[in-house]
Amino acid sequence: MNIDAALAELTIVLGQRLSLSKSDLDLHGRSETHFPLTPPDGVAYPETTKEVSQIVRICSAHRVPVIGWGTGSSLEGQAQAFSGGIIVDFSRMNKVLRIGQADMDCTVGPGVTREALNRELRATGLFFPVDPGANASIGGMTSTRASGTTAVRYGTMRDNVLGLEVVLADGTVIHTGTRARKSSAGYDLTALFVGAEGTLGLITEITLRLQGQPEAVTAAVCAFDDIDSAVRCVIDTIQLGIPMARIEFVDAATAAAFNSYAGSQLPECPHLMVEFHSSDTGVREQAESFGEIVADHGGKSFKWASKLEDRNALWTMRHNAHYACMASRPGCRSMVTDICVPISRLADAVNETRADLEAENVTGPILGHVGDGNFHAVLLFDENDADEVARVKRVAHRMVERALEMGGTVTGEHGIGVGKLDYMPAEHGAAWALMGRLKAAFDPKNIMNPGKLVPPRND
């Protein structure tokens, strides 16, 4: 790689919008989790697809790595420049470009955040449902195949991206998908770029499916005696086809963390947090059916939140779970695991993880999007306590092994980046090599976010 030549040419294209300041490089070298600081060689702030194409052409000519950056909220090191190169920060490509009211779709720049998008949509009667908690960028969410609390009802980014504009590794600009709701016209390139973590190209526009704002919304939280009862309640709810908009699990430790962080007064036992979206009658009927299932499993302390501010308080508390857990042990660091299993194995997966945490004496509140079979443990540790670090790593490793044994996946929504690269052979077998061939066909010089997701190359 000839970084100096690349930086010189990039400056001609971008002027002040190529940043080399130490503070900016450091800001784009950090992650939300436990990866070390890895400042890139430069940070580019393009404003148009054409500029992104020029950046990639220059980097290709000089074999310089190119890594996309949304808001930096990814959890497995996806946006870090571990082998140097240029971070392409999409924060200036943050416009909602088109809202199709009649077609219930929109096209946005990659730098638009999900909260900004929903603010723009508010007056239209539409909303974008995917909600990973963090106020991530749509480009980043697309690249990580993000999901979150509402996937049980509205699907993940896989289900909500209709089409893309992508700059390929040689600077070519392509468009995938159409504005039609479905197509059988060739390979599903849209699905291929969703979740590719920027290793196949840089996404410069995203066309999204939108939903009508529901006529009625209500939410509730209810308590259970044990994990089993809560999880079995989820399974019954899914099987009965009640169209939950959200169904979230938190364990006793998470409830305790909420109480001290958010001032809630939850009993310190497992809880489900749910939300219904429908007509007035529909919400009532769904809530009644759910209430019966809860009662069957000994659920209690049912608290309804029909008012917007109560619901906001509930979901803000849920979204801040990571911070609440961190605050429960001041000065600690965290490893946030993310596995997803078939729903029939969910109770086993949570119980065995709980038992393992106790056996290893690790603090790890468990919570998750249980309607999808997806859950996290927030494993807390003192980074100076080598023994505790080792125990945390063992627990995390066994969670992943357990997910695979149960027919599940090593990551439901956080992605691979570098953090879970070592598990790819176990999950995919021979298909991982195929992913490598696919990457090589799209990016022969290996400049698009190299070192992530696919088998390492030796060139």
Residues 238-267, interacting with a second copy (CB under 8 A): 238-241
Q: In terms of CB distance, is 21 or 172 closer to a second copy? A: 172
What does the alpha-carbon distance between residue 307 and residue 120 come to, in Å, rounded to a whole number?
22
The pairing of beta strand 66-69 with beta strand 333-336: unpaired
Q: Which residues ranging from 418 to 437 are in contact with a second copy (CB under 8 A)?
A: 420, 423-424, 427-432, 434-435, 437
Q: In terms of CB distance, is 39 or 201 closer to a second copy? A: 201
- Residues listed for the chain: 459
Q: What is the 3-state secondary structure (H, E, C) of 56-123?
A: HHHHHHCCCCEEEECCCCCCCCCCCCCCCCEEEEHHHCCCEEEEECCCCEEEECCCCEHHHHHHHHHH
Q: Is 341 in the site for a second copy (CB under 8 A)?
A: yes
Q: Which residues ranging from 270 to 289 are in contact with a second copy (CB under 8 A)?
A: 279, 281-282, 285
Q: Is 216 in the site for a second copy (CB under 8 A)?
A: no
CB of 215 to a second copy, least distance (A): 8
Q: In terms of CB distance, is 353 or 374 closer to a second copy? A: 374
Contacts of 227 (CB under 8 A, 6+ apart): 251, 270, 347, 350, 351, 354
DSSP string of 6-29, one letter each residue:
HHHHHHHHHGGGEE--HHHHHHTT
What does the alpha-carbon distance between residue 188 and residue 324 come to, in Å, rounded to a whole number?
40
CB of 94 to a second copy, least distance (A): 24
CB of 356 to a second copy, least distance (A): 20
CB atoms within 10 A of CB 407: 10
Contacting residue, 16, 23, 182, 331, with a second copy by CB under 8 A: 182
Q: In terms of CB distance, is 5 or 240 closer to a second copy? A: 240
**Torsion from C-alpha of 107, 110, 113, 116, nearest 10 degrees:** -40
Q: Which residues ranging from 85 to 104 are in contact with a second copy (CB under 8 A)?
A: 100, 102-104
Element (DSSP H or E) covering residue 273: strand 271-278
- Find where tokens 């195949």 sit: 145
Q: In terms of CB distance, is 80 or 144 closer to a second copy? A: 144
Q: In terms of CB distance, is 317 or 343 closer to a second copy? A: 343
Binding-site string for a second copy from residue 439 to residue 458, where x marks contact by CB under 8 A and - marks none: -xxx----------xx----
Structure tokens at 146: 């993000």
Q: Which residues ranging from 343 to 372 are in contact with a second copy (CB under 8 A)?
A: 343-344, 372
What does the alpha-carbon distance between residue 106 and residue 341 come to, in Å, rounded to a whole number?
32
CB of 426 to a second copy, least distance (A): 10
Q: In terms of CB distance, is 66 or 339 closer to a second copy? A: 339
What does the alpha-carbon distance between residue 115 and residue 204 come to, in Å, rounded to a whole number?
19
Contacting residue, 172, 260, 301, 306, with a second copy by CB under 8 A: 172
Q: Is 173 in the site for a second copy (CB under 8 A)?
A: yes
- Find where tokens 């310089």 sit: 64
Q: In terms of CB distance, is 322 or 391 closer to a second copy? A: 322
Q: Which residues ranging from 101 to 140 are in contact with a second copy (CB under 8 A)?
A: 102-105
Q: Which residues ranging from 284 to 313 are in contact with a second copy (CB under 8 A)?
A: 285
Structure tokens at 357: 């945490």
What does the alpha-carbon distance between residue 88 and residue 209 come to, in Å, rounded to a whole number?
26
Contacting residue, 94, 113, 363, 409, with a second copy by CB under 8 A: 409
Q: Which residues ranging from 321 to 340 are in contact with a second copy (CB under 8 A)?
A: 338, 340
Structure tokens at 185: 């016209």
Q: Which stretch binds a second copy (CB under 8 A): 79-87, 109-117, 381-389, 401-409?
A: 401-409
CB of 453 to a second copy, least distance (A): 6
Q: In terms of CB distance, is 379 or 424 closer to a second copy? A: 424
Q: Note the helical H segments in 145-193.
A: 151-154, 157-160, 189-193
Q: Note the helical H segments in 271-345.
A: 280-296, 308-319, 321-327
Q: In terms of CB distance, is 158 or 303 closer to a second copy? A: 158
| DSSP 3-state of 231 | helix
CB neighbour class for 2 (10 Å; exposed up to 12, middle 13-18, buried from 19): exposed
CB of 305 to a second copy, least distance (A): 22
What does the alpha-carbon distance between residue 366 and residue 337 come to, in Å, rounded to a whole number?
10
Q: Which stretch binds a second copy (CB under 8 A): 37-45, 63-71, 245-253, 416-424?
A: 416-424
Q: Which residues ranging from 10 to 39 are in contact with a second copy (CB under 8 A)?
A: none
Q: Which residues ranging from 369 to 388 are in contact with a second copy (CB under 8 A)?
A: 372-374
How many residues interact with a second copy (rule CB under 8 A)? 87
Structure tokens at 279: 């007509």
The pairing of beta strand 86-89 with beta strand 66-69: parallel
Q: In terms of CB distance, is 41 or 131 closer to a second copy? A: 131
Q: Is 171 in the site for a second copy (CB under 8 A)?
A: no
At residue 280, what are phi and psi to the nearest 5 degrees?
Answer: -55, -50
Q: In terms of CB distance, is 5 or 431 closer to a second copy? A: 431
Contacting residue, 18, 58, 250, 416, with a second copy by CB under 8 A: 416
